[in-house]
Amino acid sequence: MSKLTLALLSGAYVCLSLIAALMVWRLGGGPGASLAGFLGALALCFAFQGVVERSLVGGRLAGDLASLADSQRGLAREVAKVEARITGELETATEDALRRSEELFTEVQLLEDVVQQISDRIEAGLSGRADETGRETGAMVSPQTSALLETVRSALASGRVDLYLQSVVSLPQRRVQFYESFSRLRDETGRVLMPAEFLSVAEPARLVAAIDNLLLFRCVQIVRRLARQERKIGIFCNISLASLGDEEFFPQFVEFLGANRDLADALIFELGQAAFDARGAAESRSMAKLADLGFRFSLDKVTDVDLDFQDLSRADVKFVKIAAPVLIEQLQERDGVLTLRSLPDLEAGAYAALAARHGVELIAEKVESERQVVDVLELNIRYGQGLIFGEPRPIRDSVLAQTGAPTELMQAALRRAG
């Protein structure tokens, strides 16, 4: 009750009490009786007020208790709904976890089969390879070649095959859009063997397919890791004609990729222009099988810019890498217009657009200076790769181990090959 209301009621009570005292006076009561009537009437008024206030407070309390009961019942209903939703989500999460476990188990089984195949191939191919190479060439294998071949054999058998990644950036922003993968071997001392060194003995000994196979699995591991980080970045993974034509390995690899089609947007298989032109019927069928699964191809080591983009598109080649020096060497000015020597009727700036009309994206690789970046931009090429954008960097074994892919399984199988 507000102070104003209390004051008004008190005034009214005093007036009523005065009236009561006056009535006692008129009825013949003396001053004492009148005062008693006044005080009695005043006390009666305040007593009545107290009764009224208690009644009102009781009514409010009853209303508050009823509201609280309603709120409690509503809260109980909401708690029941939340419990039901949590129970449903837990059941769904459990089902998803079981499904993922089954998928992972299936994936590991497929990988184990393929890795065992790699092991068998290496075991069959490595034994006596040096003598065979010597017989094929008609000459004795030099001690240096034998030693290098044994180093390559040991690196494969011990799983010392490392993955290096180099960024491919958008131009002119220079944001990483892709990575290209490279394989490097290490000898027992940890010295890194560059491709030019180990391929000189690996190719005659027919070990390139084994190296390619391991590189493919490394790329799959990194793609899985990037997917978990929700990074939509593609990886160019080199593949040789030997791998595409391997009738024992390739069907199992296709089976693995068929069970993991979600890799198709991120994994791009790359081969050189010379290898692409030399592909036979078996290799073309293998490429078609990968394309049917949604995988794309890239062409690198391009020496002739007069490319048949329509033919490349039919073969599902979506990227073509041309070295910046090759592109710049092609530039010439003809009648005041910048053109390419191999395509004199085409403006240089329209070359990338010509490729794009056939669904092929050009990438300038081996870009090593800012001057070359400017020249590439004049050709309207959207992507660049080279030392100026970043050197190839090794991926730590600990990073590969975190993907859950069969790194240890591979190494164990390769150790059995030794």
pLDDT in tens, 232-284: 789 999 888 888 887 877 887 788 788 888 888 889 999 999 999 999 999 99
Cβ neighbors of 409 (< 8 A, separation 6 or more) are 108, 111, 112, 115
Has residue 135 got a pLDDT over 60?
A: no
What's the pLDDT at 44?
A: 77
98 or 314: which leads in pLDDT: 314
* CATH, residue 264: 3.20.20.450
Cβ neighbors of 392 (< 8 A, separation 6 or more) are 164, 165, 166, 180, 182
389 or 152: which leads in pLDDT: 389
Mean pLDDT of 15-42: 71
Of 111-115, 185-189, 209-213, 330-334, the one with minimum mean pLDDT is: 111-115
Is residue 200 included in any domain, yes or no?
A: yes
The residue whose two tokens read 């993955």 is: 163
What mean pLDDT is reported for the chain?
78
Is residue 33 included in any domain, yes or no?
A: no
What's the pLDDT at 96?
A: 64
Has residue 410 got a pLDDT over 50?
A: no
Q: How far, CA to CA in Å, does 378 sit from each of 144, 185, 266, 362, 375?
A: 48, 38, 29, 13, 5
Has residue 405 got a pLDDT over 50?
A: no
> What is the 8-class DSSP label of residue 388?
T
What's the pLDDT at 310?
A: 94
The structure tokens listed for 79 are 């708690």
Give the chain's domain count: 1
Is residue 214 included in any domain, yes or no?
A: yes
Is residue 227 included in any domain, yes or no?
A: yes
Is residue 325 included in any domain, yes or no?
A: yes
What's the pLDDT at 352?
A: 95
Cβ(245)–Cβ(286) below 8 Å: yes
Is residue 48 included in any domain, yes or no?
A: no
Has residue 131 got a pLDDT over 60?
A: no
pLDDT tier for residue 218 given thresholds of 50, 70 and 90 = confident
The structure tokens listed for 387 are 């030392």
Most confidently modeled range among 190-194, 208-212, 232-236, 404-408: 232-236
What's the pLDDT at 269?
A: 94
| Domain hosting residue 157, numbered range | 104-417
What's the pLDDT at 170?
A: 95
Cβ(166)–Cβ(398) below 8 Å: no
DSSP reduced 3-state for 259: coil
Is residue 99 included in any domain, yes or no?
A: no
What's the pLDDT at 37?
A: 67
Mean pLDDT of 160-181: 92
Rounded to an integer, what distance in angstroms lies between the CA atom of residue 217 and that of residue 119? Answer: 14
- Angle formed at CA 11 by CA 6 and CA 12, multiple of 5 degrees: 100
What's the pLDDT at 411?
A: 45
Cα(first)–Cα(last) distance of the chain, in Å?
97
Cβ(239)–Cβ(212) below 8 Å: yes
Of 120-124, 218-222, 304-308, 385-389, the one with minimum mean pLDDT is: 120-124
Is residue 63 included in any domain, yes or no?
A: no
Has residue 128 got a pLDDT over 70?
A: no
Rounded to an integer, what distance in angstroms lies between the CA atom of residue 289 and that of residue 245? Answer: 12
pLDDT tier for residue 399 given thresholds of 50, 70 and 90 = low
What's the pLDDT at 139?
A: 47
